[in-house]
Structure 1
Amino acid sequence: MPLTQREAIQLGLLLLCVPAQYFLSGNIGSESRRSQAVLQLVNEVKHIRDSWFKLESWKARWLNFVSWLLKGILQPEEVVKTDNNAQESPAIEVLRYREKAKYFCLINCS
């Protein structure tokens, strides 16, 4: 009688449980460290499940991408302005402000 895909996965998981238990009991150390490591492993698996295998996370990623793309298409000059401002040195901005306010002038002082 051939195994279905679900039965094969269940059998594989059951066969992997014994080596996993042996590894955890022999290599981690004390019981508290083992339980902490297992808890951390379970939390990581939950995080991966929530971030990769849930429809809501894919919807959120898709909406962020589409909004970023539309913002770049509809308002490209604002996207360029924010990129240029991020690369500009704050010292240059301060010097320009002081020049406008006539605290001291860099060019053509009158």
Structure 2
Amino acid sequence: MPLNRDHAQFLVLFLCVPIQYLAVEYMGSNEVSRTYAISQMVTQFKEVQTQWLRVEPWKKWCLQMVLKLREGRHFVDDGQEVHDMGESPAFEVLKYREKDGYFSQSAEVRNPKSPHVKYRVGQVVKHKLWGYHGVIVGWDETARAPESWIKQMHGDNAHWRTQPNYHILVDTRDRPAPQFTYVPQENLEIVKQVKILHPSIEEYFESFDGSQYLARPWLKGVYPKD
């Protein structure tokens, strides 16, 4: 609820005594300097009231933060630890999310499901090498990514590209900046009764049943056998 004029005036009067005390203690005993300092503080208070004590500025700020989070989503490497949370130290591949269906972003229906694909959309997993938790939001039967990305991320582990690779929404308690990763099957293990925190989780899932996440209809349509 925004402050009206009466509320603001009451708050200013309420703060007069402590303001005067601070003015004497820290702004000198000269009447002119104290008067100037107090007027500056009142002006700053009015600016704070205008910018932050109303609903609209907060809504605008929250929207800007959400947009920044969305813009900051990266697919990071699987072959080495991330040192700067929020940035891939090797190759930024956000621009490939939809192009050519890389990183399980293809809308192609995965039906039938290969028996080699061990895990399913909605399962919560832990990375065996790096220890972070996440939830599966997609998979490819074999790695589907730019060749340069595969060479740089997989390094000497050439066999990673021939096994199922999973699109993982990473828990922000493990990596504070919202991230996706693309992980070979052998580097994942299932965990139970663990909820994942990520700003995009509701885009993919309707709820959490205590064991796994339940996919939204559009996602279930792409992975009908999961």
What band does the TM-score fall into relative to the shorter chain?
0.3 to 0.5
TM-score relative to the length of structure 2: 0.24
Higher helix share: 1
Structure number with higher strand proportion: 2
Structure number with higher relative contact order (C-alpha < 8 Å, ≥ 6 residues apart)? 2
**TM-score relative to the length of structure 1:** 0.42
